[in-house]
Chain A
Amino acid sequence: MADTRKTIAAAIAATLGVAIFVGCPPREPKNARRPAAASDIAVAAEKTYVPPGDLDEYYMFSSGGHSGQVFIYGLPSMRHITTIPVFAPYPATGYGFDDETKAMLGNLTWGDVHHPALSETNGDYDGRWLFVNEMNGRMARIDLRDFKTRQILGPVPNISGNHGSTFITPNSEYVIMSSRFPVPIPKGTAVSVDRFATDYKGVAAGIKIDPKTGQMSLGWQVVLPPFDWDLGDAGKKISDGWFFLTCYNSERATGKLEVTASQRDRDYIAAIDWRAAEKAAAEGKGDQIGGVKVLDPRKVPGLVYLMPCGKSPHGVDVSPDGKYVVGSGKLQGVTTAFNFEKVLTAIKNKDFTGEEDGIPVLKYESIKDAEVPVGLGPLHTQFGPDGVAYTSLFVDSALVKWKLGTWEVLDKVPMSYSTGHLAAAEGDTVSPDGKWLVGLNKLSHGRHLSVGPSQPESSQLVDVSGDKMKLVYDAFTEPEPHYAQIIKADKIKPIEVYPKEENKNPLAVWDVKDAGMTRNGNEVVVKIVAVRSSFTPSAVEVNQGDTVKFAITNIEQTTDELHGFALLDYNLNLVIDPGETKVVTVKATKPGVFPYYCTNFCSALHQEMQGYLVVKPAKQ
């Protein structure tokens, strides 16, 4: 009995002891919050506060993902200043309603924008153009003189799922496109998925940029193995002349890729010698496929090499001096810094471990300089001055700061939540600024006032001017920012009105005396003058069945005096900037009286800025 009691007492004591030793689980993870001292809050507020009337120091051009647009933020205030419509209609600026932008959009009413690329001169942003890619194989150019989309190229032949795109060469010679979803080429060829490994093709394209006008043309393409080509970067300085593309699914698998494409320990970063490609295309090598010159690395030796990289890498980023190419398996705990000088040596010494469709695979051990233990899920890397690198960690939900050359990990700051891309001030140029770093997070998980299940993403501003990184601001962004670029504001010199002398539109009218309607058969041209606070003419009569071309000229030369031109019941809304002429062609199908009016509030008598379109019924 006594023994039993002793045993029970011992058991109770042991349980208590264990309980005391183990304790209770905490209410939240240990590093969930970095409690901010009041002084930190004051410093953060002062650092990010831009008083009314003052201007931000940087522009951030943020990709708008499947919204199809580009968002502009000011840094450090993180204020959303405006949206540039690119791949989707945008009634706020009348984009996609007038004849010109409608033609530019073609039949597609959406796009999935991923990676903006500011034009560069000698590897530094020059503030002339912004290029953005889109998954339907298109590329757009935004002119930073007026912040307008001026060209959409594509869908580009042979390119399928243009994710690894808009990486620009240091003197804006080319922007890169590539296929994330290999397909048989030319497009329109139907081959069963069973023959994926042999008949499907990856493709990378060098889209040529006219150095004067920024006009893009098809350039040349390189056919690659059917891997999922994901992201890229152009070399600079010592690696100038090359571009780098990561891929996943070097298994050439199909089906549930999350499993089937995660079997090998390493996938690849392709190093493509674009000057060699340019030369080969100029020499007439390659085949014309789908209307563009396509080069086969088997027939142009030395064009492409494969650098083995950790499993399923995502981003690849070249350091400011061009020496290091940084890439990581997205499920790894380390990021790899490849030394480009060693890559060149390995190529020279034919230090290969195999090949893929005739493309030599370089020996990993010969080309890597370091595996830096940055943390779990490294995706992208940006740079600061003095050899500092910043890497985003999706799985760890953090940004990490480390040092090129010494490979020390210096600091880590938690992000809310799961950072994808990150953008540092001029952080992918030859001369990064440091100062600011923005984490473009995939999840905001209720860090904002609740807006229901459809939640915005979050963009968090981190002050990187000191030794320690400091999170200073949360901004929320409509879906979905992928990459962003941050440029010093004074590098961009926009106009604020279109000068009258530059308006070459043959239908422009600058005097109310010249406004009015002309008829040629059942084609009607109506030239309209818009100026505070009237349209001339204020009434237009046409017949049912007429094709009516409205040409509206905003003759204002004053900043911010925009006029809208909405035609009710005809699904029409234009916005005409000062000095601009917009043309829209409408088929007058419905008889009746349809008001037109100014949508963009212009003046005290804005409401009175209106008129009528009378469509007389066709004679029965």
Chain B
Amino acid sequence: MKPLFDRSHRLLAAPIGGGARALALAAALLVLPTYAFPLWNLTMFAPQYSGGLRLDIYSYKLQGGNKGQDLKEINLLNHYIGMRDLAPDDFREFQWMPFVLGVLALVFLRAAAVGRVLDVVDSIVLFTYFGAFSLWSFAYKMYRYGHDLAPTAPVKVDPFMPPLLGGQQLANFEVYSYPALGSYALFLVGLVLAIALVISVRSAIRRERAAPSPSAALPAGTALR
């Protein structure tokens, strides 16, 4: 066991190269679009709405298409099935998400500045946790909206799960749900961090092989490849 820990300590403490630092910096910069662009988009078509009703979900707000009018229209239509209004106050995410994204960007910048493999690993772990939690939270929110229907609604529908990814027919509406520009930027964050990790680990291993330390040489053939 001990040699393995030692090896992993050495690996985590190993410095990362210029390329990996640049990628960590890129990851930090790629967080910025989430402040300007939506993370998710819902588009709904019906015969009466051939132009579609659009809803953009940002990390900090809901924005209806047609200068906000589409959100009002979606809420107005949803009142017939007893769905709660999609209201910004209902989304606690809007309070913490921009802050957490900022923290993540700082963690990525730290990796770029301090430049250890450990910092890259921290970045990936925190980012993955954030991504998974956000997706679950979004899914749960959608689930609640589709299930907490007022019993006095004029139109009774079975509780339903709105689509998270892809299209679905709900009554007279075709509903499409897809990630938007902000999420694609975050996807790129994950990608560049993963590349940063791979190249920095590889170069650390290569360096260790080239100049084997007498105390703990990595046995040949166990390289993390």
Give me the interface of A with B, judged by CB distance under 8 Å.
531-532, 556-558, 604-605, 608
Q: Which residues of A contact B72 (CB under 8 A)?
A: 557-558
Distance to closest chain B CB from A179 (angstroms): 50
Q: Does B165 contact A (CB under 8 A)?
A: no
Q: Is the CB of A557 within 8 A of B69?
A: yes
B76 adjacent to A532 (CB under 8 Å)? yes
User: In this complex, what residue of B is CB-closest to A499?
Assistant: B67
Residue of A nearest to B79 (CB): A532
Residue from A556, A557, A605 in contact with B154 in the complex, judged by beta carbons closer than 8 Å: A605
Residues of A close to B73: CB separation below 8 A: 558
- The answer to whether B69 touches A558 (Cβ under 8 A) is yes
Residues in A with CB closer than 8 Å to B133 are: none
Of A531, A604, A608, the residue contacting B76 (CB under 8 A) is: A531
Q: Is B80 an interface residue (CB 8 A)?
A: yes
In the assembled complex, the Cα of A26 lies from the Cα of B69 at a distance in Å of 67
Residue numbers in B under 8 Å from A557 (CB-CB): 69, 72
5 contacts between A and B (CB under 8 A): A532-B76, A557-B69, A558-B76, A604-B80, A608-B154
Additional A-B contacts beyond A556-B76, A558-B72 (11; CB < 8 A): A531-B76, A532-B76, A557-B69, A557-B72, A558-B69, A558-B73, A558-B76, A604-B80, A605-B80, A605-B154, A608-B154
The residue in chain A whose Cβ has the minimal distance to the Cβ of B53 is A558
Determine the chain B residues whose CB is within 8 A of the CB of A531 once the complex forms.
76
Separation of A604 and B153 alpha carbons in the complex (Å): 14
Query: A321 to chain B: closest CB distance in Å?
Result: 44
A-facing residues in B92-115 (Cβ within 8 Å):
none
A578 nearest in chain B by CB position: B69
- Measured between beta carbons, the chain A residues less than 8 angstroms from B76 are 531-532, 556, 558
List B154-174 residues whose CB lies under 8 Å from chain A.
Answer: 154
Report Cα–Cα, A531/B76, bound state, in Å. Answer: 9
CA distance A532 to B155 in the complex (A): 14
What is the chain A residue whose CB lies nearest that of B72?
Answer: A557
Nearest Cβ on chain A to B56's Cβ, whole angstroms: 18
Complex formed: what's the CA distance from A557 to B72 in Å? 8
Per-residue A-contact encoding for B130-162, CB less than 8 Å = 1, 0 else: 000000000000000000000000100000000
Contacts of A605 in B (CB 8 A): 80, 154
B60-95 CB mask vs A (1 if < 8 Å, else 0) is: 000000000100110010001000000000000000
Task: List CB contacts (< 8 Å) of B29-82 with chain A.
Answer: 69, 72-73, 76, 80
List chain A residues, Cβ under 8 A from B69: 557-558
Contacts of A556 in B (CB 8 A): 76
Q: Which residues from chain A contact B80 at a C-beta distance below 8 Å?
A: 604-605
Q: How far is the CB of A289 from chain B (nearest CB, A)?
A: 52
Which 7 interchain pairs have the tightest Cβ spacing?
Answer: A557-B69, A558-B73, A605-B154, A532-B76, A557-B72, A558-B69, A531-B76
Residue of A532, A556, A558, A604 ringed by the most chain B CB atoms within 10 A = A558
CA distance A430 to B72 in the complex (A): 46
Within the complex, what minimum Cβ distance (angstroms) separates A497 from chain B?
8
Closest to A560 in B: B48
How far is A604 from B154 in the complex, measured between Cα atoms in Å? 10
- When chains A and B are docked, how far (Å) is the Cα of A608 from the Cα of B155? 13
* Bound-complex Cα distance A605 to B153 (A): 12
Bound complex: CA A558 to CA B80 (Å): 16
Q: How far is the CA of A532 from the CA of B77 in the complex (A)?
A: 9
Instruction: Report the separation of the CA atoms of residues A271 and B76 in the bound assembly, to the nearest whole angstrom.
Output: 60
User: In whole Å, how far is A565's beta carbon from the nearest beta carbon of chain B?
Assistant: 19
A604 proximity list for chain B (CB < 8 A): 80
Closest Cβ of chain B to A113, distance in Å, is 35
Shortest CB distance A338–B (Å): 53
Identify the closest chain B residue to A532 (Cβ). B76
Q: In whole angstroms, how far apart are the Cα atoms of A531 and B80 in the complex?
A: 12
Contacts of B154 in A (CB 8 A): 605, 608
Instruction: Tell me the smallest distance from the CB of A554 to a CB of chain B, in Å.
Output: 12
Cα separation A532 to B73 with both chains bound (whole Å): 10
B225 vs chain A, min Cβ distance (A): 59
A560 to chain B, nearest CB (A): 9
Task: Give, as a whole number of angstroms, the nearest-CB distance from A495 to chain B.
Answer: 12
Report B175 CB to chain A, min CB distance, Å.
Answer: 18
State the CA gap A557–B68 with chains docked (Å).
10
- Nearest residue, chain A, Cβ from B51: A559
Contacts of A558 in B (CB 8 A): 69, 72-73, 76
Contact partners of A608 in chain B: CB under 8 A: 154
Most buried by A among B69, B72, B154: B69
| Cα–Cα, bound, A342→B76 (Å) | 68
Cα-based distance from A16 to B72 in the complex (angstroms): 89
1/0 per position for B185-215, CB-CB distance to A under 8 A?
A: 0000000000000000000000000000000
Closest residue on chain B to residue A608 by CB atoms: B154
Query: Nearest-CB distance from A91 to chain B (Å)?
Result: 25
A531 to B72, CA, bound (A): 12
Q: How far is the CB of B69 from chain A (nearest CB, A)?
A: 5
Shortest distance in angstroms between A238's beta carbon and chain B's nearest beta carbon? 47
Q: CA of A556 to CA of B72 in the docked complex: distance in angstroms?
A: 9
Q: In the assembled complex, which residues on chain B have CB atoms less than 8 Å from the CB atom of A532?
A: 76
Q: How many Å from the CB of A573 to the closest CB on chain B?
A: 25
CA distance A608 to B154 in the complex (A): 11
Query: In angstroms, how far is the closest chain B Cβ from the Cβ of A24?
Result: 61
CA distance A424 to B5 in the complex (A): 91
State in angstroms the CA–CA spacing of A532 and B72 once bound together.
12
Quick one: closest A residue to B68, CB to CB? A557
Taking CB as reference atom, which chain A residue is nearest B77? Answer: A532
Rounded to whole angstroms, the CA-CA distance of A531 and B73 in the bound complex is 11
How near does chain B come to A54, taking the closest CB pair, in angstroms?
14
Least CB distance from B77 to A in Å reads 8
The chain A residue with its CB closest to the CB of B50 is: A53
B172 closest partner in A (C-beta): A604
- Minimal beta-carbon separation of B83 from chain A (angstroms): 15
Shortest CB distance B137–A (Å): 30
Q: How far is the CB of A511 from chain B (nearest CB, A)?
A: 13
In the docked arrangement, what's the CA distance between A605 and B154, Å?
Answer: 9
C-alpha gap A297/B76 in the complex (Å): 65
1/0 contact string of B172-188 vs chain A (CB within 8 Å): 00000000000000000
How many whole Å from A603's CB to the nearest CB in chain B?
8
In the assembled complex, the CB of B27 is this many whole angstroms from the nearest CB of chain A, namely: 41
Bound: A604/B76 CA distance, A: 13
Tell me how far the C-beta of A282 lies from the nearest C-beta in chain B, rounded to whole angstroms: 46
How far apart sit A42 and B182, CA to CA, in the bound complex (Å)? 53
Interchain CA distance A556-B73 in the complex, whole Å: 9
Give the shortest distance, in Å, between A148 (CB) and chain B (any CB).
21
User: Could you tell me the distance in whole angstroms from the C-beta of B163 to the nearest C-beta in chain A?
Assistant: 24
Determine how close the nearest CB of chain A comes to the CB of B82; give it in whole angstroms: 13
Among residues of B, the one whose C-beta sits closest to the C-beta of A603 is: B80
B18 to chain A: closest CB distance in Å?
54
**CA–CA, A603 and B108, complex, Å:** 52
Q: Closest CB of chain B to A616's CB: distance in Å?
A: 31
Tell me, rounded to whole Å, the shortest Cβ–Cβ distance linking A577 to chain B: 15
> Bound state CA distance, A376 and B96, in angstroms?
84
Smallest beta-carbon distance B191→chain A, Å: 41
Distance, CA A459 to CA B76, complexed state (A) = 43
How close is A602's CB to chain B, nearest CB, in angstroms? 11
Taking the nearest CB of chain B, how far is it from the CB of A578, in angstroms? 10
**Closest-CB distance, B168 to chain A (whole angstroms):** 21
- State in angstroms the CA–CA spacing of A528 and B91 once bound together: 31
